[in-house]
Amino acid sequence: MSFQEIGKPGFRYKVDFERPAEEIIRSYRTVMEKTGCLTGNVGDCLGRGAAMNSCIGSLASGMKVVGPALTVKVPPCDNLMIHKAMTLIKPGDVLVVDGGGNHSWALMGFLMISTAIKIGVAGIVIDGCVRDAQEIRKSGFPVFSAGLSPNGPFKEGPGEINYPVNCGGLIVNPGDIIVADDDGVVVLKKEYAAATIAEVNKVIEREEKRLDEIASGMVIRPGIDEILAKKGIL
C-alpha cells in the first residue's frame, strides 16, 4: 500500500501509513493491562535485543503504552515537523520522534502534550528532551524521553514524517508496534506482531508457573547444573 508523499528527501512527509490490524494491537494492550510490565516478555520473544537504549525512559512511574508508531525525524533543536505530525496522527497511535541524538533542547512541552491528549494519541516516545515535566506527570499521559530541558525548540525544519527513524538506537518503521512501560521501550516489527503474541503468552505462563514453584519452596531454578555441565563447568 502506498501513500501520498509531499516534499523532498530530508523535508517531506507521507500523509499516512499502514497500521497493524486492530485485533493484533488489542491483544497486546490486553496483556499489558493484565501484567503491567510487558516489555520484558515481548523482548524475550524477539531475540532479547528489541529494546531502545536505556536513556529513553518514562517520565513517571506507572506509564505504559501499546500502539502503532507514527514516526518523525527532526533536527536536535527544531519541532516544526512534530507540529505537522499532530495533524496526521490518529487516535491510538504512538508518536515516535528521532531528535538527532542531541539532548540539549526540549522538543515538546505540555502544550503539545495537551494536543496529543485531545487527539487521543496513545503515547509519545522521543529521542530528545521534553519540558513542563510537572504538568505532564500530573496529566498521566505516557511520555518516554531521553531527558528534560527548559530550552525551547525552533520551528524552521527540515524533517520527515512516516519514514524510518532511529530512536534510542533502534530503527523504527511507521506501523511498528511500540510497547513501553517502567522497564523501557520495545519495538515490535509489524511483520512479527501476529505471530509473537502467542509466544508472549507462553512466556507469561512459564513465569507464572515458576512463581508458583518459588512460593512452594523450589527456590533454585531447575536445570542450571545441566547447563553448566554442557559447558564443561561441572
Q: What is the C-alpha to C-alpha distance for residues 181 and 56, in angstroms, rounded to an integer?
A: 11
pLDDT tens digit sequence for 110-129: 999 999 999 999 999 999 99
Percent of the chain with pLDDT over 90: 91
pLDDT tens digit sequence for 72-90: 999 999 999 999 999 999 9
Q: What is the C-alpha to C-alpha distance for residues 132 and 123, in angstroms, rounded to an integer?
A: 16
Is 218 domain-assigned? no
| b/e sequence 16-39, b meaning 16+ C-beta within 10 Å | ebebbeeebbebbbebbeebeebb
What's the pTM?
A: 0.94
188: Cβ–Cβ under 8 A, 6 or more apart, which residues? 28, 42, 46, 50, 176, 177, 178, 179, 196
137: helix, strand or coil? helix
Q: Which domain holds residue 27?
A: 5-190
Is 227 domain-assigned? no
Is 168 domain-assigned? yes
* Comparison of pLDDT for 93 and 221, the residue scoring more: 93
Helices H, strands E: what count in the chain?
Answer: 7, 13
Is 61 domain-assigned? yes
The predicted structure's pLDDT at residue 36: 84
The predicted structure's pLDDT at residue 167: 98
Is 41 domain-assigned? yes
The domain tally of the chain equals 1
Is 225 domain-assigned? no
Is 198 domain-assigned? no
The predicted structure's pLDDT at residue 102: 87
CATH number of the domain at 155, please: 3.50.30.40
Is 144 domain-assigned? yes
Assess whether pLDDT exceeds 90 at residue 232: yes
Q: Could you say which DSSP state residue 145 is in?
A: E
Q: What does the pLDDT average to over 34-55?
A: 94
Assess whether pLDDT exceeds 80 at residue 1: no
